[in-house]
């Protein structure tokens, strides 16, 4: 009797993981392959999901990139991104964006149906509860707006973290508001963005946690940058690093 064929998972690395924190990409691969009968592949023809154009009104640029992503990823059984924002872009916005393109509308919809944020995939698709990693410390968790409100992902990362040995979890008070990143928003309206991240960081510090985790590098760069500017001891990491037992690198924005 032969085993069921392994399902092929395409990893959408995301531009910020690619550029800023490659360890998150490797952690994502390890987690997906541990979670079930999956083989992860990383298509070369990927760069970005197109959000900068899509959210800035540059539809033409967004369309060109969306078509490229659809073509590169439509052959996989699943597509996973270690980001609520990029997964949300593919899952909830590509079908709208490409709706008027007869060559791509159905393909975008099909891709959307099989695209997941990492923790969402691990829990809802793989049904995985086999986390074996250990992480000694108090952590809190920041839900990105896109994970929370576009993808309805809230319970999944918490369920996974509950299995991490030695980890204690402090819920973040007033967790629903945005951290103030918002892509180009944070540089277009730096003063408002600053107020938002000030509030977020104050709530993070109020938990008493030593580490803040999140599933989106955009939020993490913003939050880590503010924590460090304040001289806070709280560290920021992507949740995949902790879940995969790959949290040995210096935290985001920390030196060697």
Residue 66 tokens read as: 């969306």
Contacts (CB under 8 A) with other proteins, residues 55-84: 55-61, 64-65, 68
Residue positions counted in the chain: 256
Q: By CB under 8 A, tell whether 222 contacts other proteins.
A: yes
Q: Which of 70, 131, 178, 243 binds other proteins (CB under 8 A)?
A: 178
| Burial category of 183 from C-beta neighbours within 10 Å (exposed 0-12, middle 13-18, buried 19 and up) | middle
Radius of gyration in angstroms for the set of CA atoms belonging to the chain, rounded to a whole number: 18
| Candidate ranges 2-10, 99-107, 202-210, 226-234; the one touching other proteins (CB under 8 A) | 226-234
Give 238's strand partners: 214
In the complex, least distance from residue 45 CB atom to other proteins, rounded to whole angstroms? 5
155 binds other proteins (CB under 8 A): no
The rounded distance, in Å, linking the Cα atoms of 133 and 161 is 9
186 binds other proteins (CB under 8 A): yes
Which residues are CB-neighbours of 74 under 8 A, at least 6 positions away?
107, 110, 111
Confirm or reject binding of residue 189 to other proteins (CB under 8 A).
yes
Candidate list 32, 48, 86, 108; residue touching other proteins; CB under 8 A: 48
As a 3-state breakdown, the chain gives helix, strand, coil percent values, each rounded to 5, of 45, 15, 40
Q: Which of 135, 151, 149 is nearest to 213 (CA)?
A: 135
Query: Is residue 207 close enough to count as binding other proteins by CB under 8 A?
Result: no
Closest distance to other proteins from the beta carbon of 254 (Å): 5
**Between 10 and 182, whose beta carbon lies closer to other proteins?**
182
- Please report whether residue 183 would count as binding other proteins according to CB under 8 A: yes
- Site for other proteins contains 127 (CB under 8 A): no
């Amino acid at each position: 009797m032969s085993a069921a064929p392994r399902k092929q998972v395409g990893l959408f690395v995301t531009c910020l993981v690619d550029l800023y924190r490659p360890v998150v990409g490797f952690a994502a691969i390890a987690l997906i392959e541990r979670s079930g009968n999956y083989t992860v592949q990383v298509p070369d023809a990927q760069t970005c999901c197109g959000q900068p154009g899509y959210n800035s009104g540059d539809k033409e640029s967004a369309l060109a990139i969306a078509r490229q992503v659809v073509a590169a990823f439509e052959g996989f059984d699943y597509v996973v991104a270690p980001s609520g924002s990029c997964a949300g872009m593919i899952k909830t916005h590509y079908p709208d964006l490409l709706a008027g393109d007869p060559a791509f509308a159905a393909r975008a919809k099909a891709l959307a149906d099989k695209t997941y944020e990492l923790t969402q995939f691990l829990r809802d698709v793989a049904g995985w509860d086999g986390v074996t990693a250990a992480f000694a410390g108090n952590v809190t968790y920041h839900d990105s707006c896109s994970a929370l409100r576009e993808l309805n992902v809230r319970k999944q990362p918490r369920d996974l973290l509950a299995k991490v040995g030695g980890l204690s979890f402090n819920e973040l008070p007033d967790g629903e508001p945005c951290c103030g990143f918002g892509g180009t928003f944070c540089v277009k309206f730096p003063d408002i963005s600053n107020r938002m991240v000030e509030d977020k960081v104050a709530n993070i510090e109020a938990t008493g946690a030593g580490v803040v985790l999140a599933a989106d590098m955009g939020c993490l760069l913003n939050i880590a940058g503010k924590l460090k500017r304040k001289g806070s001891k709280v560290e920021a990491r992507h949740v995949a690093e902790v879940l995969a037992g790959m949290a040995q690198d210096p935290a985001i924005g920390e030196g060697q």
